Structure 1
């Protein structure tokens, strides 16, 4: 006989495992693609949020649930690994030096 408390516990464990894997996938994507971000934005002072997401390939972390990578980037911001972007002219920009430095600290490079 299966009790409802057992089913709830299994569902909770599945969600925590999925969350753990999502965070691990974000960290791997940042680690592998950080040199590309650093190279492609060398002459820039500010990096648009969409460009940072595309260069880090955060849109490939969860293609079904987050095809644009917005949730993955927001997870990094909410966790405090990346500073909040500054809004200019209706778009959000990261300061390049702060972004690269904080992402290097995040992945341990």
Structure 2
């Protein structure tokens, strides 16, 4: 796997330890962001069925802690990813907003 070194845009090779156990995709319904002067924490949740009192429940599935420089790089990438996948994003949003309608 290749990635860019943020300090000088040099491409570096990474050897990631990817196994079936740590490569299971997790679906998140909700993201909560916490920020301090030093770090940004992203909490990813799966919403669970409401309990008997009707209060929604959520299960924390991942907690990712980033330094501000890493968070800023991710924030810069997201609009590029949206633009590259504009048609897929529009289709997904239309299916969500108007379920059952053919586009």
Q: TM-score range by the shorter chain?
A: under 0.3
TM-score, normalization: structure 2?
Answer: 0.25
Higher strand share: 2
Higher helix share: 1
> Which protein is bigger by CA-based radius of gyration?
2
| Greater RCO structure (CA 8 Å; 6+ sep) | 1
